[in-house]
Amino acid sequence: MAVATQPREPAGVDENGSAGKPARGTRPVSGGASGDSAVNVFSHTVLIGWSILVMIPFLWALVASTKTSREIFGDPWALPASPQWSNFSSAWDKGVGDYLLNSLIVVSGGVLLTMLLGSMTAYVLARYEFRGNRFIYYLFAAGMMFPVFLAIVPLFFVVQNLGMLSTYHGLILVYVAYSLPFTVFFMHSFFRTLPTSVAEAAIMDGASHTGVFFRVMLPMAKPGLLSIAIFNVLGQWNQFVLPAFLSPEKPVLAQGIATLLASQRYEGDWGALFAALTVAMVPVVVVYLVFYRQVQAGLTGGTLK
């Protein structure tokens, strides 16, 4: 992982007025010429511009969740005359509660099993020499490159033949299978960096291989496990392609949102749609704001390898 070397800076330092963002031009602090503060002002203008472009759609969706359909389209920039909290109950009536529950069950099962099986595989491949080790490793690595659409049609029939379409366990197993490549790849390099001496000492003391893994190695691998767990939680929570084809009867939240958009095109209850969006967005944004360093490191870390 490459991130986490920058100095920690609180978000939104700008209010402190340093670095000449308000363009007063008289700040001698930076000791630079006026061209210097011009660059600074320009930089902040551009960066603030893009921040607004990124955040407006989300903020707008939050506000729209308390507006009537007429207000959303009639006066898109206005605040609601009176907040329509009933949007949330009508979103609930349209099945958002069920979608949310389906997502929670599938993602918690999927992530737990992914973490367990992924780190077991990675550990064996990283720490034990045996015939076929490299082959299995490359088999997993190859799984990261294949476009999922190559597999989607046969995958549907595999799941159908197993009688697992639109079931929790079917979706969980498929999520795990498609999360394994990156998890194995990531944890493999992590287990390689851990010292061998502790494990050897434990073996000397008569611990079994399994015991060493669960009692010694897994606790040592906690930082890696945390990054990859966040990665998998977000990835599986946001998964759309797999459930869209494999779980039509038991939609997860991302799917439900898409279905709701389609039905609002003739039902016209846009406030409820945005209420559903809010339910889908807020938990993820909260997780992101709390763990944002780990999230950014986890999501970008794998790309750099």
Partner 1 sequence: MQHGRYPFIVGFLILPLTLYGVFVISPFVQAFHYSLTDWSGVSPDLSYVGLQNFQTLMRDGLFLQALRNNALLLLGLPAITVMLALFFAFLLNVGGAKGKAGVQGIRGNGFYKLAFFLPQVLSVPVIAVIWAVIFDPTSDGLANSALGWVGLGSFGWLADPNLALYSVLWVLIWGSVGFYLVLFNAAMSSIPRDIFEAALIDGAGRFSTFVRVTMPLLWDTIQTSWVYLAILSLDVYALVAVMTAGPGGPDNSTQVISLQIAQNGFQFGRAGYASAMGVVLFFLTLIIATVMLRLTRRERIEY
Q: How far is the CB of 189 from partner 1 (least distance, A)?
A: 16
Query: How many Å apart are CA 82 and CA 62, to the nearest integer?
Result: 15
The continuous run of DSSP H or E covering 169 comes out as helix 168-193
Position 73 contacts partner 1 (CB under 8 A): yes
Shortest CA distance to 242 belongs to which of 141, 110, 100?
Answer: 110
Sole window of 79-87, 93-101, 142-150, 217-225 interacting with partner 1 (rule: CB under 8 A): 142-150
> Given the complex with partner 1, which of 113 and 220 has the nearer CB atom?
113
**Residues in binding contact with partner 1, number by CB under 8 A:** 118
> Given the complex with partner 1, which of 36 and 267 has the nearer CB atom?
36
Q: How far is the CB of 257 from partner 1 (least distance, A)?
A: 5
Sole window of 73-81, 82-90, 187-195, 217-225 interacting with partner 1 (rule: CB under 8 A): 73-81
User: Interior CA angle at 148 toward 145 and 153, to 5°?
Assistant: 145
Judged by CB under 8 A, the residue of 152, 194, 216, 226 near partner 1 is: 152
Cα 159 to Cα 116, 240, 242, 245, 253: the distances in Å are: 22, 17, 11, 10, 21
Judged by CB under 8 A, the residue of 24, 51, 222, 263 near partner 1 is: 51
Handedness of CA 289, 293, 294, 296 (dihedral sign): positive
Query: How many Å apart are CA 284 and CA 275, to the nearest integer?
Result: 15
Are 260 and 276 a contacting pair, CB within 8 Å? yes
Q: CB atoms < 10 A from the CB of 109, how many?
A: 18
Query: How many Å apart are CA 62 and CA 44, to the nearest integer?
Result: 26
Site for partner 1 in 180-199 (CB under 8 A): 180-181, 184
SS3 217: helix
Q: How far is the CB of 51 from partner 1 (least distance, A)?
A: 4
Position 85 contacts partner 1 (CB under 8 A): no
At which residue do the structure tokens 């009933």 appear? Answer: 86
Question: Which structure tokens are listed for 114?
Answer: 């992914």
Judged by CB under 8 A, the residue of 72, 111, 126, 228 near partner 1 is: 72
Q: CB atoms < 10 A from the CB of 181, how many?
A: 18
Position 201 contacts partner 1 (CB under 8 A): no
> Given the complex with partner 1, which of 46 and 81 has the nearer CB atom?
46
At which residue do the structure tokens 């958009």 appear? Answer: 261
Site for partner 1 in 272-291 (CB under 8 A): 273, 277, 280-281, 284-285, 287-289
Judged by CB under 8 A, the residue of 104, 124, 141, 216 near partner 1 is: 124
Position 8 contacts partner 1 (CB under 8 A): yes
Site for partner 1 in 245-264 (CB under 8 A): 245, 253-255, 257-258, 260-261
Judged by CB under 8 A, the residue of 134, 135, 150, 249 near partner 1 is: 150
Sole window of 94-102, 120-128, 189-197, 219-227 interacting with partner 1 (rule: CB under 8 A): 120-128
φ, ψ of residue 251 to 5 degrees: the values are -70, 140
Position 292 contacts partner 1 (CB under 8 A): yes
